[in-house]
Amino acid sequence: MAMSKGKQLWLTVFLGLMTAMAPLATDMYLPALPTVQVDFGITASLAQMTLTMTMIGMALGQIFAGPISDRYGRKWPLTAGMVVFTLSTVGCVWAQDIFVFLFFRFISGFAGASGIVIAKAIARDVCQGPELTKFFAMLMMVNGLAPIIAPVIGGQILLYTSWRGVFVVLVAIGLFQLIATLIYKETLPKDQRLAGLRESFAKFPMLLKNRYFLGHCLVQCFVFGAFFSYLAGSSFVFQNIFQVSPQMFSLIFGGIGAGLLLSGALPARLAGRVADVKMLHISLLVPLIGSVLLLLAFSAGMGMAVILPVLFLTIVPLSVMGAASFSLALSRQGKNAGSASALIGFFSMILGGCMMPLVGIAGENTAIPMCVIMLSGYGLGYVVFRIMIAPEH
């Protein structure tokens, strides 16, 4: 579909914000994790469970949001999702019990998933081939701003108010996204929608029987599982092991986020000149090597001067991997883009959500569990790539 530059810019910003639901809902909150642990009087693992509930909610929410958007169009499911996300985040602000807080975190993740999965389906509605790769790359760049800005904002909020102030800001973000959704014009014509929800959900077994598509799902599952382990453990690693302040941690985390943003520009520049599968291969191999070095560095008791560069090397290729893998997986799906995007989104979050509490299983003063989980995730992702994806190319 041909787009004017104005429409392309609007869609890039709009969809970029929607795909940023996950980092906005987690990264802004990361500097406050130790404070939440103290405030509720809970263990580090239970504090990390507040991230887990959001991730599991987002994983499950995508399973429903994708097929619904294939059947009824993109606009109204997105609108409903933003309404529920905003209201459930208000619940997080007022929650006085940890289990009530966990419930609202799950609901906000479930509802926020509509933005993640439908945004990618909209991209598939309007772009194909190399243009789709370029557009996904631009989304990853906009998305990459969130890990830079969100923790810095969260750290600054903690200077003036409690961790609950972070969720007040998330309520405002939810309202903004709701308004943007109401402005958005539908991109899935009625004649291209699936006939019924049963047909839409029936696409899942068909997609999972496709070895190539399943390979991309598993790669996303393992690699994002490693990444979310870093998200869950990083605040405790830097604040408890290296004794940095929440504000300094937010700057460190934002610096790595800047690397994610810059690496996200590569697929857009290389699309059409370097094969997507080659970009995917390199973006899996580099963090695998980095995770080995990271485990060795922490085991040897190295300082931040060593840890930070290695961690940077391990994390920043994620943007390239995400753009290349999504483009390759969705390029073959046509009108099944919503269901395909939902499955990839589910796989990309479910393992990470389950692994997050394990990061703190040995306490909040060691990084070894985080490093082991990261190495396992990157290693399994690379093996799946070699067995299920590379042979197709």
pLDDT given at position 360: 64
Neighbours of 190 (CB within 10 A): 8
Question: pTM to 2 decimals?
Answer: 0.75
* CB contact at 8 A, 193 and 258: no
Q: How far is CA 15 from the centre of its chain?
A: 14
pLDDT given at position 219: 95
pLDDT given at position 308: 93
pLDDT given at position 244: 85
Which tokens hold the place of 257? 């986020």
pLDDT given at position 25: 81
pLDDT given at position 383: 97
Q: What is the CA radius of gyration of the chain?
A: 20
Residue in 377, 147, 35 with CA at minimum distance from that of residue 369: 377
Residues 23 and 146: their CA atoms lie apart, in Å, by: 6
pLDDT given at position 362: 55
* CB contact at 8 A, 85 and 49: no
Residue in 256, 239, 254, 241 with CA at minimum distance from that of residue 36: 239
Domains present along the chain, CATH in parentheses: 7-187+195-392 (1.20.1250.20)
Rounded mean pLDDT for each run of 10 residues along the chain, 393 residues in total: 65 80 78 86 84 87 84 89 95 92 94 86 75 70 70 82 90 91 84 76 84 93 90 80 84 82 76 84 96 94 91 90 85 69 82 73 74 94 96 88
Residues 6 and 12: their CA atoms lie apart, in Å, by: 10
Residues 303 and 68: their CA atoms lie apart, in Å, by: 49
pLDDT given at position 73: 87
